[in-house]
Structure 1
């Protein structure tokens, strides 16, 4: 397998001693233990990072609490200036960060570069919000003369727990709005992709953030994540990940009734009507499921195709899937990389076997490749036909490059089946009929509905799910609500 040589900066970072960021200091885990960082394309260890314990999480929370009183008093302009500096440093070190993303997550370098660009624009976006957190004046009906005004105030110490599929942007999705609104934060990145978050921590330090404002504790979710969720001095948990873990975090947060926002799993329907622009729909459906190896919560993993075009459309999608070149993400010819871990690869292959057991037909993929890719965590892009919406592969989140193609007769049937899921994160609709587009979008139970596009994300547009796909909305001005609380002040002038 051809793997291009890494940048000197990337090699230097991988060679550093294993350290995490607590109170402005880089330190090992309290017990000195580490976890391996594995290149999922080769299965080989590329570095190590600290395996934090409860004491590390506790020290990070105490550092964040000490820093909070000073940080919330920093002027909005200066908070924004620091976030702008962080964004500039991310951009300046973008190629190194992209290589680290590919090495840890497996996604192709061209995808990793897009992630870096998103991280820069996201951080800049929330840097701009620091000076725009406005309150209201409210006319009261009380007898006498009163002034009532409101202010937005930070929550305090935020714990951000993130998944491995976007190892740079996910920590920033939590940190940037939290910091912009005057909170301090303890980040716990996924144990499957922690190096990028640690490099991000170095850039926050270089930008000049005060000690304790940003803390990064690496380690296992059941240890560090659980300690943060149960900690009585954490004011807010913000989490992106599986619905199962989200439920556990809610139970843990009940101890001190800390606020919780959750961006959880999905089983998103992508509905293609016969009157759609089928060439555009094919490209959109393909990217909607196979982008990021299918390891994206919004993946259009349930494909509903109107019956009269079903056979041809699904056959062409399978042809496109078979043509995908798998390989190491650093190879410029690679179009799809491996899954993030051996466990995730085996989980996805387990669902492929379940689909076969339920008599679904794999028109493409359906296995792990052999040869030079055998040691990596690859799964061939898989298109299942002969699926009904009650099969396991159509009801449970697979989080991999597997799509279930289901025919439908008319719009009411597609909507009914599309909504027949415990999830409600996203949906896609492909049609040239604007009335049908509006009616279908209105009827779908999803936090985001894309029409004649898919995975069209923007920093200003709200993101979050219905049903078991989460609580709250990230992005845009809506994301500020997750990290602030309203204070009402009433003054009697009588």
Structure 2
């Protein structure tokens, strides 16, 4: 018998937080029908008015932010001290996507090549009803990427959040409706996997944006194909993001940044740094600095202000991460963080100790398969060429970072450009990591997915092109 509801479990206490009931298939179809009807009217609202409403959304989200951090902590386990950062990032992305909306969605005239007696231009037309399936790890940041520009572009949005973060989606939608978005234009749907499949296959749903696992993305792709309606699908999937530390990197700065890139949100970030390659000439010095910083983390109750490393999302996730570390050690890896530094990290809990592994290689899952936890493998290399080869030796390609003194050394700058050209990834960073600039497209290659959110190009997948070709003079 299929489940009729979902219950969110608090990661650190394993106690229930909230329960949400699933709709029936008939109710779900009714929600889609309402969205389709409302979208036809919403698309006729002038773009300037839709943009004005979007600006009010930012103000409304700020106004609803009193319980923002604590609510996030109870849903996903992130330390309460870090909750405000997600709100800042969400508002930053919202403000940028609003600022480029008018130019990105404007008609494109062909005046420079028009022939006498003709007028031609290209319109951007909303797709209709779109489905956004958002993950739990950054529920506001990932939601704003597609939902807000989707609505600005004139679409109706069905927002399906993770069962782990239903309150985030409801708060997001409330801010939109308080700003003036019609209720049927933004609907939060709590759905079972079977109902997700039904929604993806629904003929009135024209586009699906999914962020999650590779397996989940494959299921969405299969359902979209089964619908036989040629709908578009955007997929942001897994990552095994690499970093490379060149011989001239500022090791103090680099070690601190990479520890944060690996450990923030307990390593549960789409673009968390999961494997690091270090030139042999600085390997020992870098590892020592990296380990010392990691040892200073405070793992514990995420509701306490002094905690900077919380639990992972579930018992199953904790068990999987521990096994990946254990398997690597059995295969010859060396663990550099003593277990007694983090006594709360016991089997049967969601607390996973941060771990740094050396003597690793690409025969180990810890260097090949997504960890999504506070664990990183560090491997010695002898050259840039070896680093490029190993960084590309992955089924994933979301982000990669290179750490070198490029601002003071022309040779290092040229070396970075070689990495930028040859790395198989959606984003290449220099001397930073684990950050999404809303002015740049967010996308991945290989098993990290396809499609593009953020930047002015993010509006492309939320609209379709209509060519207008006018013959003015017929004589």
Please indicate the TM-score interval, normalised by the length of the shorter structure. Answer: over 0.9
Of the candidates 421, 425, 433, which is equivalent to residue 446 of structure 1?
425
Superposition deviation, residue 371 in structure 1: 4.7
Superposition deviation, residue 368 in structure 1: 11
1:289–1:299 CA contact under 8 A, matched in 2: yes
Of the candidates 396, 408, 416, which is equivalent to residue 423 of structure 1?
396
**Aligned: 1:466 with 2:437:** no
Note the alpha carbon deviations across 1:125-175, whole angstroms, 9 max, x for none. Answer: 333344332222236989873221111111111100011101222222221
Distance (whole Å) between structure 2 residues aligned to residue 471 and residue 366 of structure 1: 39
Distance (whole Å) between structure 2 residues aligned to residue 273 and residue 368 of structure 1: 30
Once the two structures are overlaid, the 10-residue window that deviates more, 275-284 or 94-103, is 94-103
Partner SS, residue 117 of structure 1: helix
Once the two structures are overlaid, the 10-residue window that deviates more, 129-138 or 175-184, is 129-138
TM-score of the aligned structures, taking structure 1 as reference length: 0.89
Structure 1's 72 and 373: CA in aligned 2 closer, same or farther, altered over 3 A? Answer: farther
1:82 matched residue in structure 2: 53
Of the candidates 273, 276, 297, which is equivalent to residue 303 of structure 1?
276
Instruction: For 1:119-130, list aligned pairs within 5 A.
Output: 119-130=90-101
**Aligned: 1:109 with 2:88:** no
2:246 matched residue in structure 1: 273
1:214 matched residue in structure 2: 186
TM-score of the aligned structures, taking structure 2 as reference length: 0.92
Note the alpha carbon deviations across 1:45-82, whole angstroms, 9 max, x for none. Answer: 22222234544432322221111100101111221122
Instruction: For 1:476-487, list aligned pairs within 5 A.
Output: 476-487=455-466
Superposition deviation, residue 376 in structure 1: 4.7
2:435 matched residue in structure 1: 456
Give the paired residue count.
463
1:4 matched residue in structure 2: none
Of the candidates 233, 240, 262, which is equivalent to residue 260 of structure 1?
233
Structure 1's 88 and 392: CA in aligned 2 closer, same or farther, altered over 3 A? Answer: same
Distance (whole Å) between structure 1 residues aligned to residue 82 and residue 418 of structure 2: 34
**Aligned: 1:354 with 2:327:** yes
Superposition deviation, residue 369 in structure 1: 5.5
Of the candidates 459, 470, 473, which is equivalent to residue 491 of structure 1?
470
Of the candidates 357, 366, 378, which is equivalent to residue 351 of structure 2?
378
Once the two structures are overlaid, the 10-residue window that deviates more, 347-356 or 107-116, is 347-356
Distance (whole Å) between structure 1 residues aligned to residue 373 and residue 345 of structure 2: 21
Distance (whole Å) between structure 2 residues aligned to residue 367 and residue 178 of structure 1: 49
2:353–2:374 CA contact under 8 A, matched in 1: yes
2:256–2:293 CA contact under 8 A, matched in 1: no
Instruction: For 1:7-406, list aligned pairs within 5 A.
Output: 33-132=4-103, 133-138=105-110, 145-220=117-192, 222-254=193-225, 255=227, 256-364=229-337, 370-371=343-344, 376-406=349-379
Gapped regions of structure 1 (runs ≥ 5): 1-30
Gapped regions of structure 2 (runs ≥ 5): 406-411
Partner SS, residue 235 of structure 1: strand
1:450–1:456 CA contact under 8 A, matched in 2: no
Superposition deviation, residue 35 in structure 1: 2.1
Partner SS, residue 350 of structure 2: coil
Superposition deviation, residue 457 in structure 1: 2.4
Partner SS, residue 429 of structure 1: strand
Q: Calculate the aligned-residue CA RMSD, in Å.
A: 2.2
Distance (whole Å) between structure 2 residues aligned to residue 143 and residue 290 of structure 1: 59
1:158–1:183 CA contact under 8 A, matched in 2: yes
Partner SS, residue 305 of structure 1: strand
Note the alpha carbon deviations across 1:330-353, whole angstroms, 9 max, x for none. Answer: 211001111112222222122122
Once the two structures are overlaid, the 10-residue window that deviates more, 141-150 or 425-434, is 141-150
Distance (whole Å) between structure 2 residues aligned to residue 367 and residue 296 of structure 1: 26
2:415 matched residue in structure 1: 436
Once the two structures are overlaid, the 10-residue window that deviates more, 43-52 or 152-161, is 43-52
Distance (whole Å) between structure 2 residues aligned to residue 59 and residue 407 of structure 1: 57
Distance (whole Å) between structure 1 residues aligned to residue 280 and residue 389 of structure 2: 16
Note the alpha carbon deviations across 1:24-43, whole angstroms, 9 max, x for none. Answer: xxxxxxx9943222221111
Structure 1's 53 and 283: CA in aligned 2 closer, same or farther, altered over 3 A? Answer: farther
2:409 matched residue in structure 1: none
Note the alpha carbon deviations across 1:465-484, whole angstroms, 9 max, x for none. Answer: 12221112211101111101
Distance (whole Å) between structure 2 residues aligned to residue 215 and residue 41 of structure 1: 30
